[in-house]
Structure 1
Amino acid sequence: MTEPHSDDPWQWPESTWRPIVEHVRAGRSLSPSTWPGDADVAVAVSFDSDHETPALRDGSVTPGVLSGGQYGARVALPRIDALLARHEVPASFFVPAVSALLYPEQIDAALAGGHEIAVHGWIHERNTLLSRDDEFDLTLRSIDTLEKLSGKRPVGIRTPSWDFSPNTLDIIRELGFLYDSSLMADDDPYELVAAGEPTGIVELPVEWIRDDAPYFGMARFAGLRPYTAPGAVLDIWKREFDGARAEKGVFQLTMHPSIIGHRSRLWILDELLTYIRSTSNPWFATHEQLATLVAGKDIS
C-alpha cells in the first residue's frame, strides 16, 4: 500500500489517492439467491467478549476500571448464554486471547451452547498502530490460544479496531482465514479485493448502527456517556432487521457482554429475537456458517 503523500490531501495526485482507496475494496456480492430452509432473511448474532482487555491495552490497571470488564464475564455472559439457549439461537463470540486465558470457562460454555469462537486480537490491540511483524505475531498467538482452549482452529477474525492496517489483509490471507468481519462496504456479504485482485476472503460487514457500544458506551474521564434510551435502540435494530428481511439479505448484529448484559438492556435482545421469530422465517447462523455458505462450501 502506498504511504500517504506528505502534502495536504486536496493536493494529492491520483497516483497517491487511487492506490490508497484500492488497497482493500469490496468485490463481488456473495449473497445467495436463497437461504437454507427457504428462509426470508439470514440472522448472524455476535458478541465481542472484550472484558478487561481494552483497559489493559490502554494501561488502565485500577480495580474500578477492570471490574467493569469482569462484569461481562462474571454476570453478563451467563445471562446471555441462557437467553440464546431459550431462543435457540447460535451466536459467534469474538474473543481476545487474553480474555480467553482469563476466563477459559467462557469458551467451554460457548461451545456447549453450539456457538462459534473467533479471533478478536490478543489484548484488543489497535492493529493499525502495529508493525507487520507485531501484528502477525499477535494474530498467530491469538489463533493458537483459541485453538488450544477450544480444540478447534478458528476460521474467522474481527480486528479489535474494526479496521485494517496496510498489512492486515495480507496477514489474514497468509494465516488462512475463511472470513473477516471488520469492514463496512455493504449490508450483505462480499468478497475482499486487494489492489484489484479477488482474494477469496469473505467479508461479513459490521456497522456501528448495529453495535451496542455507540449507544451505551461509557468512559468516565473521556466524557463519553450513554445517550440513547434502550427502547430507541430496539427500534433502530428492528428497522435494520426489517430492511434486511425486505431485501432477503443479512441482519448482522454486534454486542458486548459488559454493555448489553445489564438488567436494563438485555431485554432489548430478548424482544428483538422474539420479534424476528414472529415476523419472519429466519435462518439463524453463526458467522462461520454464514461465511461457509456464501463461499459456496458445504455447511452440513
Structure 2
Amino acid sequence: MSGEPTDSAPWQWPEPVWRAKVDHVRAGRRMAPAQWPGGARCAVALSFDSDHETNELRDGGGSVARLSWGQYGARVGMPRILPILARHSVPASFFVPAVTALLHPDEQRRVIAEGHEIGLHGWIHERNSLLPIDAERDLMLRAAEVIERVCGVRPVGVRTPSWDHGPGTLAVIRDMGLLYDSSLMADEDCYELLLDGEPTGVTELPVDWIRDDAPYFLMDRFGSSRPYTPPDAVFDIFRREFDLAHEEGGLFQLTMHPHIIGARSRIWILDEMIRHMAAHKVWFATHRQVVEHVVAACPVDMKE
C-alpha cells in the first residue's frame, strides 16, 4: 500500500491508490461445501463474544456502572447461556479477550469442559484496527498465551475486537498459524482470505451486524444510541436469516454477547432459535469444526 498520498482527498487519489486499499485484504475463493456432515442441509455456528468488563477498560474508562454491566455478563449471562446450550446439546464458540480470561478463569475452564470452543478476541478488547502493526502482533501473541494457560487449549481462530482489520492484522493471523478469522463480511459462506492478491491459507467465517444482538439492544446513556428493536423483532430477523440459509444449504452464523442476550427479556431468543433450527436437518458446530470441514471439503484446486 505504498505511494499513498497523505495530503489529498479520496476523489483526488490516482487509481493505484484506491485499488491498493481495496485489494489489500480481499475475499478469495468461496469455500461452500456441497454437503454438510450427517447429511445436514445447513450448518449452524453459534458464537458469543465474552467481552465482560473489557468494553469499559479498553478506552481507559473506570465507570463503576459500566464495569458492573460487564460483570453481569459473567455473573448472570453466562450462567443462563451455558445451561441452554447443554440442554440442547449444542456446541458454540466463545471469543474471549485475554483480560476477560484473567478476570474469569473458571468461566473459561467451564466453557472448555462443556465441549465449546474458545477463540481469540484481543487482549483488552482494544481497537485493533488503529494499532501499530508491532503492537497488534504483541497483543495477539500475549492473548494466545493467556488463553492457552488458562484453558489448557491453544486457540486456532480469532475474532478481532474491532470486527475490522488494520494494515497488518491478516499478516499477524497468518504468521501465527491460525486456522481462521471471523471478523469480516464479504460473504455468508466461508472463503479464503487474500493478502495483497495472494492466498493466505486463512479461512474467513464471516460475521454480519444483522446477525449480532448488539446493534439492536446496545445503549449509550450519554449519547443518542438507545435500544429500539423489541426482542420478538430481533428473533424474527435471526429466524429469517436462518430460514434462507437452510433453504440455500449454506452456513448460518450468529453472534451474541452474554451481557446483552443474557437479560430476562432476551435469553428466550437463544432458546427459541435453537428449537426452531433443531426442527430442521442442521449440523450444530463450533466455528473451528465448520472451518475444518470446509477446508477438507474445498481443497485449493477445487473450482468455485
| TM-score normalised to structure 1 length | 0.97
Distance (whole Å) between structure 1 residues aligned to residue 14 and residue 107 of structure 2: 50
Q: Kindly indicate whether the alpha-carbon contact (under 8 Å) linking 2:53 and 2:100 is maintained by their aligned counterparts in 1.
A: yes
Query: Could you tell me the percent identity over the aligned residues?
Result: 61
**What's the CA shift for 1:223?**
2.4
Q: Kindly indicate whether the alpha-carbon contact (under 8 Å) linking 1:39 and 1:281 is maintained by their aligned counterparts in 2.
A: yes
**What's the CA shift for 1:262?**
0.5
Distance (whole Å) between structure 2 residues aligned to residue 273 and residue 250 of structure 1: 15
Distance (whole Å) between structure 2 residues aligned to residue 155 and residue 188 of structure 1: 19
**What's the CA shift for 1:277?**
1.0
Distance (whole Å) between structure 2 residues aligned to residue 208 and residue 159 of structure 1: 14
* Superposition map of 1:165-244 within 5 A: 165-244=166-245
The aligned residue for residue 154 of structure 1 is 155
Q: Kindly indicate whether the alpha-carbon contact (under 8 Å) linking 2:190 and 2:206 is maintained by their aligned counterparts in 1.
A: yes
Distance (whole Å) between structure 1 residues aligned to residue 286 and residue 13 of structure 2: 42
Q: Secondary structure of 2:28's partner?
A: strand
The aligned residue for residue 286 of structure 1 is 286
CA-atom RMSD, angstroms? 1.0
* C-alpha distance after superposition, 1:157-176 (max 9, x if no partner): 00000000000011001111
The aligned residue for residue 134 of structure 1 is 135
Distance (whole Å) between structure 2 residues aligned to residue 74 and residue 4 of structure 1: 48
* Superposition map of 1:53-132 within 5 A: 53-132=54-133
* C-alpha distance after superposition, 1:200-257 (max 9, x if no partner): 1000000000000000001111221111000000000000001100110000000000
Q: Kindly indicate whether the alpha-carbon contact (under 8 Å) linking 1:2 and 1:20 is maintained by their aligned counterparts in 2.
A: no
Q: Secondary structure of 1:295's partner?
A: helix
**What's the CA shift for 1:141?**
0.4
**What's the CA shift for 1:142?**
0.3
Q: Secondary structure of 2:253's partner?
A: strand
Distance (whole Å) between structure 2 residues aligned to residue 226 and residue 236 of structure 1: 15
**What's the CA shift for 1:3?**
6.8
Distance (whole Å) between structure 2 residues aligned to residue 73 and residue 4 of structure 1: 44
Q: 1:110 to 1:196 in 2, by over 3 A?
A: same
**What's the CA shift for 1:4?**
4.7
Q: Kindly indicate whether the alpha-carbon contact (under 8 Å) linking 2:56 and 2:63 is maintained by their aligned counterparts in 1.
A: no
Distance (whole Å) between structure 1 residues aligned to residue 63 and residue 290 of structure 2: 40
Gaps of 5+ in 1: none
The aligned residue for residue 302 of structure 2 is none
Aligned length: 296
Q: 1:4 to 1:208 in 2, by over 3 A?
A: farther
With 179-188 and 104-113 compared, the bigger mean Cα shift is at: 104-113
Distance (whole Å) between structure 1 residues aligned to residue 134 and residue 42 of structure 2: 40
Distance (whole Å) between structure 2 residues aligned to residue 237 and residue 12 of structure 1: 40
Q: Secondary structure of 1:296's partner?
A: helix
Distance (whole Å) between structure 1 residues aligned to residue 166 and residue 154 of structure 2: 23
* Superposition map of 1:244-259 within 5 A: 244-259=245-260
Amino acid at match of 2:61: S
**What's the CA shift for 1:2?**
3.7
